[in-house]
Amino acid sequence: MDIIHTPSYEALSQEVANYIAKQVRSNPNVVLGLATGSTPTGMYKHLLEDHIVNKTSYRNVVTFNLDEYIGMHKLDSNSYYAFMEKHLFQHIDIQKEKIFIPDGLAVQLENECKSYEEKLNTYGPIDIQVLGLGENGHIGFNEPGTPFNSKTHVVELTDSTRKANARFFPNPVDVPTHALTMGIDSIMRAKEIILLVAGKNKAKALEQLVYGVVSESFPASVLKKHPCVKIYAESTVLEQSSIIA
């Protein structure tokens, strides 16, 4: 794993966006694995700026999102589909049929999971998978205890994850209890993984990732087994840890 120290969240977002935009320009058919939440929003902002200034085209790009809440319509403002539309998709020239996000309203959730894996196998492997780091080590919605060989599956969200996501909802009780998520094995099949770590509250999690053992009790630890992982960490995280980057 390579740890890349960035002086600020803005610098982290700009650097990662520059890297991804460069890959899109060099490989117009690139397959991107995308994440949601507060950490990647800056990256998406800079990707949009690049799209406008440098005319980087996403017409042939394929994207897969990590997860979606169960029971939430994609047009709900709190859905991850709506998040991606707001922050990226509606502003670029990507083809809608090349955007893949799990369907949280699927009648047969197990069939939806199998279908998503089939799409990953058809269009994949993912060239670049973007991840965030949960305080408890979760990646995607793969909570502690998730088997490393897991594929796309239904997950019950932990109290800590629901609490962390409550800031996105008008009322904490509105945070869904379950989600569909790409599994750890699904994530690890990507050719390259970019982990974004921002905010001093992620310092302990990053320390455990770097210095801890590989264990299903800390899902992100599996990244140590991947041949190509770049960790972009902002200074506020590193200042709160013993990590030297």
pLDDT digits (tens, 9 = 90+) for 69-118: 999 999 999 999 999 999 999 999 999 999 999 999 999 999 999 999 99
pLDDT at 172: 86
pLDDT > 70? residue 245: no
The residues annotated with a catalytic role in the active site are: 67, 136, 138, 143
- CA nearest to 223, candidates 182, 183, 184, 180: 184
Q: Which amino acid is at 27?
A: N
Residue 196 main-chain phi, psi, to 5 deg? -100, 125
- Distance between CA 100 and CA 103 in Å, rounded? 9
pLDDT of residue 161: 87
Report the relative pairing of strands 128-132 and 31-34 from DSSP bridges: parallel
From the number of C-beta atoms within 10 Å of its C-beta (0-12, 13-18, 19+), residue 95 rates as exposed
Structure tokens at 66: 């990590």
**What mean pLDDT comes out for the span 166-178?**
89
Q: How confident is the model at residue 121 (pLDDT cuts 50, 70, 90)?
A: very high
Please name each of the domains of the chain with its CATH number. 2-196 (3.40.50.1360)
Mean pLDDT of the chain: 96
- pLDDT tens-digit map of 5-54: 999 999 999 999 999 999 999 999 999 999 999 999 999 999 999 999 99
Token pair of 241 as six digits: 């840890």
DSSP per-residue string spanning 7-68: SSHHHHHHHHHHHHHHHHHH-TT-EEEE--SSTTHHHHHHHHHHHHHH----TT-EEEESEE
Report the pLDDT averaged over residues 142-150: 97
